Amino acid sequence: MLLKIKEIVAGYGGFQALRNLSLGLEAGEGVAILGANGAGKTTLVKAIIGLIKLQSGEIEFNGERIDKLPSNEIIKRGISISPEGGGCFPEMSIMKNLMMGAIFLKDKVMVKSAYDRVVTLFPKLETRKTQKAGSLSGGERQMLAIGRALMGKPKVLLMDEPSLGLAPMVVNNIFETIRVLRKEGLTIMLIEQNAAKSLEITDRGYVIELGRIVLSGTSEELKSHEIVKKAYLGV
């Protein structure tokens, strides 16, 4: 298993946002993480990337334990994040934002290859590369966030609420991009409230409630499960 999360407990102060949570991703898989606001989804992402420390449990990546490593070392090993809301550097140009994603790549040929791939996915970023990132719309900032994450040539891409607050047409474009990345074999953990679209483009999924996994299965199984249909699909 490429990414293995074992019985992790994590939170803020005395509050446990994740409670003995376990899950995993195989190489090449797309896995959806579903849950309401406050369920612990973003905390899970922060724990994986090293932004918060575990109270207990372990996280392994590519056979190596990473939960004691700083974030920069975790990113170097091949885990990138497209954060909720985009998380761009507004005063920096689009190009400089993208290059921040390639900061650990030493090979200029790899950087050029990554950049070419990103602007093929998001041509607007190329045509507006000298503009400040703060001038972008919400959808464009999300494109930039995904592009910046891809610039590091990751083995695993963590996507935290990529469709949050976006117009329906933009949401469709974002999910089509994820579909393309999935077809290319990129391993993706997709944290989303849009269960219907998430389960269309992933292999498996987990449902988190109050920091615990309450349901897991293939995406097809989850789509037909009564809990998911009532709570997340509006059926």
Architecture of domain 26-52+70-231: 3-Layer(aba) Sandwich (3.40)
Q: How many CB atoms lie within 10 A of CB 108?
A: 9
pLDDT in tens, 84-97: 888 889 999 999 99
Q: What is the pTM of this model?
A: 0.94
Helix intervals (H) in 184-215 = 195-200
pLDDT above 60: residue 235: no
Band of pLDDT at residue 234, cut at 50, 70 and 90? low
* Cα 40 from Cα 17, distance rounded (Å): 5
Which residue type is seen at 171? V
pLDDT above 90: residue 8: yes
Angle between helices 108-121 and 138-150 (to 10 degrees): 150
115 vs 229 pLDDT, higher one: 115
Q: Where are the domains of the chain?
A: 26-52+70-231
From residue 231, give the alpha-carbon distance in Å to each of 193, 195, 226, 234, 235.
10, 10, 8, 6, 8
